[in-house]
Amino acid sequence: MLHQWHGTIDLIRRALAEDEAAADATSGLLPAGMRGTAIMLAKQNGVIAGVEVGLAVFREVDLDVAWFASLDDGTRVEAGQHIVTIKGRLASILRAERTALNFVQRMSGIATATRAYVDEIAGTNAALIDTRKTLPGLRLLDKYSVRMGGGRNHRMSLADGVLIKDNHIAAAATIRETIADLVARARATAPHTVRIEVECDTLEQVRQSVEADADIVMLDNMSIEIMREAVSMCAGRVLTEASGGVTLAAVRTIAETGVDFVSAGAITHSVQALDISLDVTPDGAGA
């Protein structure tokens, strides 16, 4: 699915530039013509994502690179499993190696963590969603990786949904405006294709949001009991999203309150890279 990555080529170029791949002081020690085979290998169990981004790194360094037998993104892997085989000039492969792995390890790390959350809430009504707590420049890849782990995406950007947060509510209050006023103004001015969500800390705010005909309420840092009550206030009328304190340990209990969505910042802001390595064999080795 390399055709999807049209937006990432600049990012790949910047990554190679900051690694000064074109001025690599080591790979030039090898004969220019030497070719080899590299196997990208999982060293941990997890879910793979970003294989084709990784391949695009190799091809940006050297168009004359071929690959075979890749697993599709979203597949579970076990330690020791081959992910993809790459063939080409050895010096090019070694130049691109670290940059390629930096992409694939993060993306697979996100997919793996997401999958753990998604599995944990299997059977409940809730869907696991991400946040805008992604890394600068990596939003598109981070959110793609969440989908590969079985999660869904919250808004891509500030333009993709109205989300009235505590700070907006507090600001409006200083000019004696209520949640209802803000929702009404959003309804009158925002693109009609986006929904209006209100971040609520209290049941009173939930009540106001429901009455204001908000589309979604975010139940922020509520206790499980309060959250359950909030869900029942909204039931059938307004979608509910649980947010705050969403750890892997807590997520099932939260999901069982009946919320429609649980959003987890940690799956993108605190990523454990999946351990993946590149085993390289020069052509002719072992002969």
Q: Which active-site residues does the annotation give?
A: 98, 133, 165, 199, 220
Segment 205-234, which members bind its own copies (CB under 8 A)? 216
Return the sign of the alpha-carbon dihedral for residues 145, 148, 152, 153: positive
C-alpha 35/C-alpha 92 separation (Å) is 9
Segment 39-58, which members bind its own copies (CB under 8 A)? none
Closest C-alpha to 243, from 222, 213, 268? 222
Residues 6+ apart with CB under 8 A from 189: none
Minimum CB separation of residue 234 from its own copies in Å reads: 13
Nearer to its own copies, 141 or 225 (CB): 141
Minimum CB separation of residue 100 from its own copies in Å reads: 10
Nearer to its own copies, 142 or 222 (CB): 142
Instruction: Choose which of 55, 61, 238, 267 interacts with its own copies (CB under 8 A).
Output: 61
Minimum CB separation of residue 124 from its own copies in Å reads: 15
C-alpha 241/C-alpha 160 separation (Å) is 16
In one letter, which amino acid is 140? L
Count of residues interacting with its own copies (CB under 8 A): 115
Instruction: Choose which of 75, 81, 125, 272 interacts with its own copies (CB under 8 A).
Output: 272
Type and span of the H or E element at 243: strand 239-243
102 binds its own copies per the rule CB under 8 A: yes
Instruction: Choose which of 52, 55, 84, 92 interacts with its own copies (CB under 8 A).
Output: 92
Q: Give the Cβ contact number of residue 169 at 10 Å.
A: 20
Segment 166-195, which members bind its own copies (CB under 8 A)? 167-168, 170-175, 182, 185-186, 189-195
Nearer to its own copies, 225 or 236 (CB): 236
In degrees rounded to 5, what are phi and psi of residue 44?
-150, 155
Stretch of 118-126, 164-172, 202-210, 225-233 lying at the interface with its own copies (CB under 8 A)? 164-172
Nearer to its own copies, 25 or 225 (CB): 25
Nearer to its own copies, 100 or 225 (CB): 100
Residues 6+ apart with CB under 8 A from 114: 47, 128, 130, 145, 146, 148, 149, 150, 151, 264, 267
Instruction: Choose which of 40, 51, 56, 129 interacts with its own copies (CB under 8 A).
Output: 129
Minimum CB separation of residue 238 from its own copies in Å reads: 12
Q: Check: CB of residue 88 under 8 Å from CB of residue 27.
A: no
Segment 136-155, which members bind its own copies (CB under 8 A)? 136-140, 143, 152-155
The alpha carbon torsion through 58, 62, 66, 67 (nearest 10 deg) reads: 0
Q: Check: CB of residue 69 under 8 Å from CB of residue 84.
A: yes
The interface mask with its own copies, positions 234-263, x = CB under 8 A, is: -----x-x------------------xx--
Residue 92 is encoded by which pair of tokens?
Answer: 């090019």
